[in-house]
Amino acid sequence: MILTEAENHFAQFGFEGASLENIAAAAGLSRHNLLYYFPSKEALYRRVLDDVLTQWLAGMEDLSQGQDDPAQALRRYIRAKLHSSRERPNGAKVFTKEVIAGAPRYADAITRRVTPVLKAEVRAFEKWAREGRIARVNFTHLMFIIWSVTQAYADQQAQFALLLGKPALDASDFERAEELISHLVLSGLRATAPAKG
């Protein structure tokens, strides 16, 4: 309950604007009770980011196994990233705000936790390229592009919904995004997407 409210407040107000008093009140606790579980605002903030990153990395590790068909693996990965943006937009926004600010409170964790997984992903792509299953491109930047475009469906969903003339994005919008992003990525890699059904 504390983490959910903290995620909501950090997403809306950022680290500086969120207060332990307001987070505690939203969770039905006193500030003193909240501090029993998390000794500082920074500790609570880092725990929210840890949870978001753990969910994100779980999807990344599936791709890095390198044993699936590249098209299926990439589709599954893109679907998981968009699902995370849809189901946990506030967590994605907290992470984005931290990164946009230059990662002043979380750079160490990003470097320590993301770097080895990204390297494993690049090795999986390199293996597929050596086998002639995909075209050789800069795979690190390919991952940056996939992360950015899927993350946009959390960070900019209000704008996207406004431009689509609807109150909020719905499941069909995320399905369309998945199809298009997958098509663009797979076309760029000259991989053939498996037929649906």
CATH code assigned at 123: 1.10.357.10
Taking the model in full, what pTM does it have? Answer: 0.87
The CA distance from 174 to 9, in Å, is 25
Q: Is residue 105 part of a domain?
A: yes
Q: Name the average pLDDT for the chain.
A: 92
pLDDT at 64: 66
For 45-69, b/e burial (b = at least 16 CB within 10 A) is bbbbbebbbebbeebbeebbebebe
Q: Is residue 27 part of a domain?
A: no
In the predicted model, what is the mean pLDDT of residues 89-99?
Answer: 95
Q: Please give the tally of structural domains in the chain.
A: 1
Q: Is residue 163 part of a domain?
A: yes
Q: Is residue 19 part of a domain?
A: no
Q: Is residue 61 part of a domain?
A: yes
CA-to-CA dists, residue 158 to 6, 141, 163, 164, 177, angstroms: 21, 27, 9, 10, 15
Q: How many CA atoms lie within 13 A of 130 on its CB side?
A: 7
Q: Structural domain of residue 125, as residue ranges?
A: 50-188
In the predicted model, what is the mean pLDDT of residues 5-24?
Answer: 97
Q: Is residue 195 part of a domain?
A: no
Q: Where does the pLDDT of residue 159 fall: very low under 50, low under 70, confident under 90, or very high at 90 and above?
A: very high
Q: Is residue 4 part of a domain?
A: no
Q: Is residue 108 part of a domain?
A: yes
User: Residues 62, 73: contact at Cβ < 8 Å?
Assistant: yes
Quote the percentage of the chain above a pLDDT of 70: 94
